[in-house]
Amino acid sequence: MQKPLRAFDFDSAIARKPGTSVVKGLRAGGQEDPDFEAVCAEHDAYVAALRHAGVEVQVLEPLEAFPDSVFVEDPALVFHEGAILLRPGVGSREGETAAIAPVLRDRFDRVLELGAGYVDGGDVLTTSDRVMIGLSARTDREGAEALISSLAKLGRKGEIVHTPSSVLHFKSDCSLMDDTTILSTQRLAESGVFSGFETLIVPEGEEGAANALRINDTIFLAEGFPGTLALLEGAGYHLATLKTSEIAKIDAGLSCMSLRWLS
């Protein structure tokens, strides 16, 4: 009997090397520019970790014209059933969708396009029974509704939820641990969006740890969050930590640097 697919089962991924322009990537706060060589080292370690977890990773060449193009999750969504090209909510990133479209058309039989509005992939959390779309400064209702229509064509159910106003992306504050469990910040969990799930709350002061990434049987967690590490180890998860201190200076997390699917 075939095992049912889990939302975190992956064997394929796409990533993109950072260009030298990455040091001028978008950021919400006044953080200093990251060091380019350090960003490259963190990205290399990230790709190696995905491969170690059993994922074949296609690494694309840098796009110097788009400083944030290393974050390939924002201009597209990928699933076993097909891909959806999105429309990032910041004008400087619009060309990233056109750049990744040919790659996805080579890899997927079905590639749909968002018909209206704006959606960043960082606002989209895929679970076993639904795809949660967080409204934010980067994702509007028109885009979320258009995405629900595209998801339906792939046989998936979409649900619109809200992102706290102080949070860049929905997944900045949450990640999927298993089919029934979400790792979340207190501020997001309090909104009630995770009804029906068990929630694990990151300790106060470790909100950045909420953007973890489950790949098959391993949960990747950013370094520097000992309370969250202890919480997840205590819950019985297999963990691996990755350095993200430089990439975090441009508001990045672990989920945004790859597109992942089960082929």
Q: What is the CA radius of gyration of the chain?
A: 17
Residues 6+ apart with CB under 8 A from 195: none
**Cβ atoms of residues 229 and 212 within 8 Å:** no
CB 244 within 8 A of CB 222: yes
Establish whether 162 is a catalytic residue.
no
Question: If DSSP codes are grouped into helix, strand and coil, which group holds residue 218?
Answer: strand
Distance in angstroms (rounded) separating the CA atoms of residues 170 and 203: 18
What is the secondary structure of 109-152 as a DSSP string? S-EEE--SS---GGGEEE-SS-EEEEE-SS--HHHHHHHHHHHH
Catalytic residue among 40, 43, 174, 256: 256
Distance CA 7, CA 30 (A): 35
Per the CB < 8 A criterion, the answer to whether 79 and 156 are in contact is yes
- Residue of 40, 43, 169, 174 marked active site: 169
Task: Evaluate whether 174 touches 185 at the Cβ level (below 8 Å).
Answer: yes
| Residue 256 CB neighbour total at 10 angstroms | 23
C-alpha atoms less than 13 angstroms from C-alpha of 263 in its C-beta half-sphere: 14
> Residue 2 gets which letter from DSSP?
P
Rounded-to-integer distance, Cα 88 and Cα 93, Å: 6
Catalytic annotation on 169? yes
Residues assigned a catalytic role: 169, 256
